[in-house]
């Protein structure tokens, strides 16, 4: 009997180990997304802010502990704004990082600082990524799709179809600084597909997805640039089943951006890291789907557990609510 119990427990643990886990960590309007592969390797996309008593780094460390991650194999920095790159020094105080990936030298932008990041990473392995590059995390297929105002020319295997949502859309003038330089990637685990496009804005989204959708259809999408702007409807071609808004109470989650995503045909749910104060009741999802309701919060996270067949579960750490999205 003991042997049988041991076997069942071992089999259950082995089955659980085959899952991909993604933690969307609350950095109060910045970004830090931990992607833990079934192999135990992990990529962290951005680090949130510095300061606040090491708040964001501590929240990342908590998520890493829950994911049984003891080190960050790849730190993927989308760009050098403080809400994405500021927390690197604090992160290194709580977790080791094996290698650092970024888009290269920063451009002229008074809100961006790459010096602290360069100093913190020191002589650690460092790579400048470009569109089409693969990020080496075992069991996952991770492709850089946009970086430094360039995008993949060859569509991913599920992309390449003409995008009907491009009609009537045109580039905008005046986009400059670090946001257009932002890196973005697609993570694939079997049939499950997730995209994090960093802080790219209108022109980069348009170039990536028009006249053909180079990304393909997704299961899960993190809103570009925290939902601070209305994305072009060319993004609709990615057809994510679930969208997650990495906003703060007073940053991101703009009412117009919320309405744009919420109005996408076929979207099953829009989850948020925070209740966006500017949106009011009509400009936010139901409380069930929001990780942090109050402006002064405990920094609750959203967690996605994905399976190779394309099914996945979203878990809200605030209220313990879970929702399963079956394989299609």
pLDDT for 18:
85
Provide the residue count of the chain. 328
* Mean pLDDT, residues 238-258: 96
Residue 80, pLDDT > 90, answer yes
Q: What is the pTM of this model?
A: 0.94
Domain ranges of the chain: 19-325
Does domain 19-325 correspond to CATH entry 3.60.15.10?
A: yes
Compute the distance between CA of residue 280 and CA of residue 180 in angstroms, rounded to an integer.
Answer: 29
Token code pair at residue 53:
């008593």
Token code pair at residue 316:
């809200």
**242-245 vs 220-222, strand pairing mode:** parallel
pLDDT for 3:
52
Structure confidence by residue, pLDDT tens digits, 255-295: 999 999 999 999 999 999 999 999 999 999 999 999 999 99
What's the Cα-to-Cα distance from 29 to each of 139, 245, 318, rounded to whole Å?
Answer: 30, 10, 17
Residue 13, pLDDT > 50, answer no
Residue 16, pLDDT > 70, answer no
Residue 23 DSSP SS3: strand
Residue 15's contacts (CB-CB under 8 Å, 6 or more residues apart) are: none
Residue 10, pLDDT > 50, answer no
- E strand or H helix at 16: helix 2-16
pLDDT for 6:
45
Token code pair at residue 282:
């009509």
Residue 250, pLDDT > 70, answer yes
| Cβ atoms of residues 246 and 273 within 8 Å | yes
Residue 9, pLDDT > 70, answer no
pLDDT for 2:
56
Structure confidence by residue, pLDDT tens digits, 117-132: 999 999 999 999 999 9
Q: Minimal CA–CA distance to 178: which of 70, 104, 244, 75?
A: 104
Compute the distance between CA of residue 320 and CA of residue 58 in angstroms, rounded to an integer.
Answer: 21
Using only C-alpha atoms, the chain has a radius of gyration, in whole angstroms, of 19
CA dihedral (64, 66, 67, 71) positive or negative? positive
Structure confidence by residue, pLDDT tens digits, 17-60: 489 999 999 999 999 999 999 999 999 999 999 999 999 999 99
Question: Rounded mean pLDDT of the chain?
Answer: 94
Residue 72, pLDDT > 70, answer yes
* Mean pLDDT, residues 229-246: 97
Structure confidence by residue, pLDDT tens digits, 135-154: 999 999 999 999 999 999 99
């Amino acid at each position: 009997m003991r042997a049988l119990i041991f076997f069942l427990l071992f089999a259950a643990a082995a089955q659980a180990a085959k899952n991909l886990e993604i933690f969307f960590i609350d950095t109060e309007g910045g970004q830090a997304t931990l992607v833990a592969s079934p192999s135990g390797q992990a990529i962290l996309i951005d680090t949130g802010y510095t300061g606040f008593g090491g708040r964001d780094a501590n929240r990342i460390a908590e998520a890493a502990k829950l994911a049984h991650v003891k080190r960050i194999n790849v730190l993927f920095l989308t760009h050098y704004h403080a809400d994405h790159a500021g927390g690197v020094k604090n992160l290194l105080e709580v977790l080791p990082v094996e290698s650092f990936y970024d888009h290269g030298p920063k451009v002229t932008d008074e809100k961006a600082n790459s010096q602290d990041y360069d100093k913190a990473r020191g002589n650690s392995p460092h790579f400048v990524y470009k569109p089409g590059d693969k990020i080496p995390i075992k069991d996952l297929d991770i492709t850089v799709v946009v970086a430094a105002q360039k995008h993949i020319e060859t569509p991913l295997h599920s992309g390449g179809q003409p995008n009907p949502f491009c009609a009537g859309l045109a580039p905008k003038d005046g986009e400059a600084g670090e946001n257009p330089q932002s890196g973005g990637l697609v993570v694939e685990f079997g049939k499950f597909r997730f995209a994090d496009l960093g802080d790219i804005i209108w022109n980069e989204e348009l170039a990536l997805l028009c006249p053909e959708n180079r990304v393909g259809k997704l299961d899960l999408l993190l809103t570009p640039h925290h939902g601070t702007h209305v994305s072009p409807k060319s993004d609709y071609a990615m057809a994510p089943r679930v969208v997650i808004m990495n906003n703060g109470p007073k940053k991101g989650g703009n009412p117009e951006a919320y309405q744009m995503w919420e109005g996408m045909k076929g979207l099953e749910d829009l989850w948020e890291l925070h209740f966006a104060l500017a949106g009011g009741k009509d400009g936010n999802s139901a409380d069930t789907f929001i990780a942090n309701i109050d402006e002064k919060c405990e920094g609750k996270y959203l967690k996605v557990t994905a399976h190779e067949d394309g099914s996945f579960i979203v878990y809200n750490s605030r209220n313990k609510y879970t929702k399963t999205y079956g394989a299609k």
